[in-house]
Amino acid sequence: DGGITQSPKYLFRKEGQNVTLSCEQNLNHDAMYWYRQDPGQGLRLIYYSQIVNDFQKGDIAEGYSVSREKKESFPLTVTSAQKNPTAFYLCASSPLGGPQHFGDGTRLSIL
């Protein structure tokens, strides 16, 4: 089945630690996106990529990093510089200009 796979479903971060969230898609979509959602809030764009080896900052990129070495994969690293990382992280993919489809999300919490 085609889809977007995010892992892990739950993740805990210690102070000063970097953690990486995985996102893989087999929909052959060119574009991939990372969003952050806080309780009761809308989606905020962290980073997006429309082509391999290229990505752009979204509205809240500080404290995060990404890579796009393969079309299928767009991992997000939450660095220790992100002081308030507790949130629901959503990865999405789309054909260029088309509707975005979301993975099931990763919930990140601070230990």
Enumerate binding residues for another protein (CB under 8 A).
31, 33, 41-43, 45, 48, 50, 56, 58, 90, 94, 97-105
Handedness of CA 37, 43, 20, 3 (dihedral sign): positive
Residue number, 41 or 109, with CB nearest to another protein: 41
Residue number, 3 or 17, with CB nearest to another protein: 3
Q: How far is the CB of 39 from another protein (least distance, A)?
A: 10
Q: Which residues pair with 106 in a beta bridge?
A: 89
Return the DSSP state at 109: E
Residue number, 45 or 77, with CB nearest to another protein: 45
Q: How far is the CB of 15 from another protein (least distance, A)?
A: 26
